[in-house]
């Protein structure tokens, strides 16, 4: 699986090189390209400097890429130089596009009316953002900057996208539809992908399975990537026509050996699955250390108000008692971080919100507050239902305060999933 | 600001190029280097392939860096090739270091005793990880791989660190203390940095200010970077001795023109500032569309339990009434998404949790549910205090459901900040 289309990604932004901002565009673009079967060879982060960006474009050309995607440097300020540098790279002059100038002027007029900012700064920004390499395909602005698709003679196709992740993502489909990009992608050989998502299985176990299956079966035509992200292990199998039988056999071996860790077989996320399982149910939350993260995670999905009735962030013991009905004696006897209190919070959340499913999370997120018996990372989780089902877990989670809270949120999602997967559909 | 020490970062890992894993080492190393006054020119993410890593090292050399930091590819498996490639790059043979071999053998013996894994694979791993470029300074393993500091004749110093972020970070101080790195860092000229953080000011306005000030003042010795992240604009000024007056003048111009948008002058984050302002106060939250994001954001910080007593995620009208005391008539009269209900939620959160500060957020996060009068993105926020202070805002926020919820959370943080900045310190 190597004779396909190769791509490189260049992300510009001096703030990325001081570590102030974490780049979100490189991984997003790489993931999109990979899903289309394009091989990404490099992701390069460079500052907002002409020479550095130009050097990056030359480097990727030496890496024999067919496609370069850039992000950033399309804004109105003097350090936004991408259009100019890409024009130079392609040997194309910069020209003012009158239609685009009018279009941006219209966008700016609306924005000015809303914000009250007007004047010379705007006119200047307008002209700069409508100045593009001659011959470029222009992609309609999402903010005020158009995207560009520039074909370099005897070189790669360069797709120039804005830096704000929202704008870049909104422009992606238009970029793929631009003729030079469409023509390139038509050259990607066909392939089939299978995505397995597992929860709670060590990566070494999958590695062993792959070794053992590989000993009796030719897996050389299957590209296998495993990726551990927090507690979820994703196994991606990708193969060209002809390797169907081997791929099917491998999937069935993984299912047989590790079936109880399997979350989804179709690439679907845990959150999608939980949302689907919550259809027809209602859920309420009682959170202490996760402090709203589980509620926010459930509410991420459109339509979540159909099942998510509410949650209580009960940081103080008083709030646990007043809003979730946790008996003070229970806290006294077992401590605020205890399986008993987590269960009372889950039951209390059901009572408070009148829901069928309740979730309780209480733990020591750190960095302070740990003891020998209840160290930093000790988190008690419980999910209960009006039908009497109970799922609980009380691990010591590794990492920083942020890691612990995120992992506890993941775990809550999986406990909800397990309770619901065993629940019959409620009568409506 | 160009005659200092320049550095590049190379992060290896094929999983980074499928977008499955977000690199955390590049930004971390860059931030550490920047804080030392080293200019990072590039962060390059490459796959676990000899040729690609070697090409990356050559590219950075062309970028005239004095220092290259690599992460990853030091493990025991066949695709861990960094030591070998760096040896080739430096023209140094690979040699087995007997002292390091014994040290790793000891580490592996302990690990084997704990896990039960033993045998030939371990011996092989031991030998591989102790095989290093001749002349390299070895950094004591944190996992089982030593770090390396390799001086390339007439080229850069290459610091080779392991990929797991925990191991890389634990090895950082030792890397800085290695003689070749110490010698390089001694050449960093002293500099002064000023960081301004603004909220709600368009980037084009700062651009105009910089142009206008630049027209009458020589700013060429000041390195200026502006970075817009959601609604916050960061302006960084960095200058060498001699440019103090120009830098001070520029900062004072920005303060004069845009003072009311200024959040911090010391590089501090909004969250740090809000946490500091909340010292001695208590806060309770009533959230609808943000559904716990404001609570989770406040709880991000260690010690937040001192002021964050709790929150209610009130998705349903019933929860707004039962837990936050919002009168059903008020919801009936103005709708659940209205400034009136946001204010009742803020007051209700104060009453429910007995806090001095209350926050209410209710809005249309979309993608469905919008109307002409209350479109998707319309969010009503209110912060009230027991002292009678009120801050409110009811914008129509752009973007996706996730964008709207994140921006609303940002806005809530700034409303809290503004209320508290005007509040006298409470009597204790």
**A10 and A147 share a domain?**
yes
Model confidence at B38: pLDDT above 60: yes
Predicted pLDDT at A224? 83
**A283 and A400 share a domain?**
yes
Looking at B47-174, which runs of residues are DSSP E strands? 67-71, 94-96, 131-133, 137-139, 147-151, 157-161
Report the residue from A26, A27, A291 with minimal CB separation from B299: A291
Model confidence at B425: pLDDT above 60: no
Mean pLDDT of B418-426: 77
As a whole number of Å, the CA-based R_g of chain A is 26
Mean pLDDT of B32-52: 93
Model confidence at A427: pLDDT above 70: no
Q: What is the mean pLDDT of chain A?
A: 91
Looking at B202-350, which runs of residues are DSSP E strands? 222-229, 232-239, 262-264, 283-287, 308-314
Mean pLDDT of A233-241: 86
- The secondary structure element, H or E, covering residue A124 is helix A120-129
- Is pLDDT larger for residue A229 or for residue B331? B331
Model confidence at A20: pLDDT above 60: yes
Q: At what angle do helices B50-62 and B82-90 cross, to 10 degrees?
A: 40
> Coil, strand, or helix at residue B198?
strand
pLDDT band at A426 (very low <50, low <70, confident <90, very high): low
For chain B, say whether A293 makes contact (Cβ under 8 Å).
yes
- How many C-beta atoms lie closer than 10 Å to residue B252's C-beta? 11
Contact at 8 Å (CB) between A60 and A7? no
State percent of chain B over pLDDT 70: 95
- The reply to whether B427 falls in a domain is no
Q: Cβ separation of B41 and A315 shorter than 8 Å? A: no
Q: Is the peptide bond before A20 cis (omega within 30 degrees of 0)?
A: no
- The reply to whether A88 falls in a domain is yes
Q: Cβ separation of A42 and B27 shorter than 8 Å? A: no
> Coil, strand, or helix at residue A9?
strand
CA–CA distance, B208 with B213 (Å, rounded to integer): 9
Residues of A in contact with B354 (CB under 8 A): 318
Q: Cβ separation of A299 and B319 shorter than 8 Å? A: no
Strand A222-229: give its sheet, edge to edge: A222-229, A232-239, A192-199, A262-264
Contact at 8 Å (CB) between B252 and B281? no
Contact at 8 Å (CB) between A146 and A139? yes
Residues of A in contact with B26 (CB under 8 A): 45
- The reply to whether A1 falls in a domain is no
CATH classification of the domain holding B391: 3.90.950.20
Domain boundary among A241, A267, A293: A267
Q: Is the peptide bond before B252 cis (omega within 30 degrees of 0)?
A: no
Q: A178 CA to chain B: closest CA distance, Å?
A: 23
CA–CA distance, A293 with A297 (Å, rounded to integer): 6
Q: A325 CA to chain B: closest CA distance, Å?
A: 13
- The reply to whether A411 falls in a domain is yes
Model confidence at B27: pLDDT above 50: yes
CATH classification of the domain holding B240: 3.30.70.600
* Selection from B100-104, B376-380, B421-425 with the highest mean pLDDT: B376-380
Predicted pLDDT at A352? 96
Residues of B in contact with A21 (CB under 8 A): 27, 227, 229
In chain B, DSSP finds a helix count (H) and a strand count (E) of 15, 17
Mean pLDDT of A234-245: 87
Domain boundary among A132, A156, A185: A185
CATH classification of the domain holding B54: 3.40.980.10
Provide the β-strand partners of residue B390: B384
Q: Angle at the Cα of B8 (from B187 to B188), degrees rounded to 5? A: 15
**A20 and A169 share a domain?**
yes
Q: A34 CA to chain B: closest CA distance, Å?
A: 6
Q: What is the mean pLDDT of chain B?
A: 91
Q: What domain range is A256 assigned to?
A: 192-267
**B262 and B298 share a domain?**
no
Nearest in space to B344 (alpha carbons), one of B332, B355, B331: B331
Contact at 8 Å (CB) between A219 and A37? no
Domain count, chain A: 3
Mean pLDDT of A94-114: 87
The least confident of A179-183, A224-228, A240-244, A272-276 is A224-228
Predicted pLDDT at A373? 93
Q: Cβ separation of B227 and A367 shorter than 8 Å? A: no
Question: Looking at chain B, which residue has its C-alpha nearest residue A292?
Answer: B292
Model confidence at B140: pLDDT above 80: yes
- The secondary structure element, H or E, covering residue B382 is strand B379-385
Mean pLDDT of A16-30: 89
Mean pLDDT of B61-85: 90
**B40 and B152 share a domain?**
yes
Q: Cβ separation of B40 and A18 shorter than 8 Å? A: yes
**B316 and B169 share a domain?**
no
**A216 and A257 share a domain?**
yes
For chain A, say whether B222 makes contact (Cβ under 8 Å).
no
Q: Cβ separation of B15 and A225 shorter than 8 Å? A: yes
Predicted pLDDT at B116? 64
Q: What are A425's two structure tokens?
A: 């559909």
Nearest in space to A147 (alpha carbons), one of A185, A100, A201: A100
> Coil, strand, or helix at residue B48?
coil
CA–CA distance, A407 with B278 (Å, rounded to integer): 27
Residues of B in contact with A293 (CB under 8 A): 292, 296
Task: Provide the b/e sequence for A259-289 (b: ≥16 CB within 10 Å).
Answer: eebebbeeeeebeebbbebbeebbbbbbbbb
Question: Looking at chain A, which residue has its C-alpha nearest residue B284?
Answer: A313
Model confidence at A28: pLDDT above 70: yes
Model confidence at A116: pLDDT above 80: no
- Residue B99, φ and ψ in degrees, nearest 5: -65, -40
> Best interface-test mutation with B: which of A9, A10, A19, A225 has the largest number of B CBs within 10 A?
A19
- How many C-beta atoms lie closer than 10 Å to residue B214's C-beta? 16
- The secondary structure element, H or E, covering residue B180 is helix B179-185
CA–CA distance, B239 with B222 (Å, rounded to integer): 5
Predicted pLDDT at B132? 94
Looking at B110-253, which runs of residues are DSSP E strands? 131-133, 137-139, 147-151, 157-161, 192-199, 222-229, 232-239
The pLDDT tens digits of the residues spanning B332-369 come to 999 999 999 999 999 999 999 999 999 999 999 999 99
Model confidence at A235: pLDDT above 60: yes
Q: B277 CA to chain A: closest CA distance, Å?
A: 19
**A250 and A292 share a domain?**
no
Q: Provide CB contacts within 8 A for B251, sequence distance 6+.
A: B194, B196, B237, B265
Q: Cβ separation of A42 and B41 shorter than 8 Å? A: no
- The reply to whether B1 falls in a domain is no
Predicted pLDDT at B325? 97
Note the residue count of chain A.
Answer: 428
Question: Looking at chain B, which residue has its C-alpha nearest residue A403?
Answer: B300
Q: What are B54's two structure tokens?
A: 């070697």
- The reply to whether A427 falls in a domain is no
Mean pLDDT of B380-393: 97
pTM of the full structure: 0.80
Q: Which of residues 330-389 of A touch B (CB under 8 A)?
A: 352-354, 365-368
pLDDT band at A117 (very low <50, low <70, confident <90, very high): confident
Provide the β-strand partners of residue B242: none
For chain A, say whether B228 makes contact (Cβ under 8 Å).
yes
**B162 and B21 share a domain?**
yes
How many beta-carbon contacts under 8 Å exist across A and B? 276
Q: Which of residues 41-80 of B touch A (CB under 8 A)?
A: 41-47, 52, 55-56, 59, 62-63
Predicted pLDDT at A190? 81
Tell me how far apart the 2 most distant CA atoms of chain B are, in Å. Answer: 81
Report the residue from A44, A225, A365 with minimal CB separation from B18: A225
Q: Angle at the Cα of B200 (from B197 to B201), degrees rounded to 5? A: 75
- The reply to whether B428 falls in a domain is no
**B277 and B263 share a domain?**
no
Residues of B in contact with A28 (CB under 8 A): 19
- The reply to whether A65 falls in a domain is yes
Report the residue from A20, A117, A300 with minimal CB separation from B205: A117
Q: A418 CA to chain B: closest CA distance, Å?
A: 23
The pLDDT tens digits of the residues spanning A301-352 come to 999 999 999 999 999 999 999 999 999 999 999 999 999 999 999 999 999 9
* Selection from A115-124, A181-190, B148-157 with the highest mean pLDDT: B148-157
How far is residue B329 from each of residues B321, B326, B334, B340, measured CA to CA in Å?
10, 9, 9, 11
Residues of B in contact with A290 (CB under 8 A): 296
The least confident of A157-161, A333-337, B193-197 is B193-197
Domain boundary among A155, A185, A215: A185
- Residue B81, φ and ψ in degrees, nearest 5: -120, 5
Predicted pLDDT at B226? 82
How far is residue B211 from each of residues A50, A82, A177, B249, B337, measured CA to CA in Å?
19, 19, 38, 14, 42
**B159 and B197 share a domain?**
no
**B287 and B199 share a domain?**
no
pLDDT band at A428 (very low <50, low <70, confident <90, very high): very low
Predicted pLDDT at B130? 92
The pLDDT tens digits of the residues spanning B161-180 come to 999 888 899 999 999 999 99
Predicted pLDDT at A1? 44
The pLDDT tens digits of the residues spanning B249-306 come to 999 999 999 999 999 998 889 999 999 999 999 999 999 999 999 999 999 999 999 9
């Amino acid at each position: 699986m190597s004779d396909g289309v190769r791509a490189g990604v260049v992300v510009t932004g001096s703030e990325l090189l001081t570590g102030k901002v974490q780049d979100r565009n490189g991984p997003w673009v790489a993931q999109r390209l990979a899903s289309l079967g394009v091989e990404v060879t490099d992701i390069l982060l460079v500052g907002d400097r002409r020479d550095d960006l130009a050097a990056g474009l030359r480097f990727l050309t030496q890496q024999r890429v067919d496609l370069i995607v850039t992000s950033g440097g399309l804004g109105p300020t003097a350090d936004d130089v991408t259009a100019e540098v890409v024009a130079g790279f392609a040997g194309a002059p910069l020209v003012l596009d009158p239609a685009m100038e009018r279009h941006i002027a219209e966008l700016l007029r609306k924005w000015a009316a809303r914000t009250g900012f007007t004047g010379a700064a705007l006119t200047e920004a307008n002209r700069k953002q409508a100045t593009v390499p001659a011959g470029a395909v222009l992609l309609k602005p999402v903010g005020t900057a158009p995207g560009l698709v520039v074909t370099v003679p005897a070189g790669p196709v360069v797709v120039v996208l804005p830096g704000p992740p929202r704008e870049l993502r909104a422009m992606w489909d238009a970029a793929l539809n631009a003729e030079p990009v469409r023509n390139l992608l038509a050259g990607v050989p066909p392939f089939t992908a299978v995505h397995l998502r597992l929860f709670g299985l060590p990566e070494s176990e999958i590695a062993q399975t792959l070794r053992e299956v590989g000993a009796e079966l030719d897996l050389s035509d299957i590209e296998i990537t495993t990726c551990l992200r927090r507690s979820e292990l994703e196994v991606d199998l990708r193969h060209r026509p002809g390797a169907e039988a081997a791929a099917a056999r491998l999937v069935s071996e993984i299912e047989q050996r590790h079936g109880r860790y399997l979350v989804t077989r179709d690439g679907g996320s845990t959150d999608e699955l939980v949302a689907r399982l919550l259809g027809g149910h209602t859920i309420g939350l009682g959170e202490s250390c996760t402090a709203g993260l589980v509620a926010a995670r459930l509410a991420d999905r459109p339509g979540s108000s159909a099942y998510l009735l509410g949650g209580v962030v009960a940081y103080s013991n008083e709030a646990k008692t007043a809003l979730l009905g946790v008996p003070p004696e229970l806290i006294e006897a077992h401590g605020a971080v205890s399986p008993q209190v987590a269960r009372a919070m889950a039951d209390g959340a059901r009572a408070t919100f009148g829901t069928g499913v309740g979730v309780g999370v209480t733990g020591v997120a750190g960095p302070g507050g740990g003891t020998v018996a209840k160290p930093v990372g000790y988190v008690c989780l419980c999910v209960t239902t009006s039908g009497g089902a109970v799922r609980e877990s009380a691990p010591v989670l590794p990492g920083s305060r942020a890691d612990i809270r995120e992992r506890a949120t993941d775990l809550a999602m999986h406990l909800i999933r397990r309770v619901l997967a065993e629940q019959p559909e409620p009568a409506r």
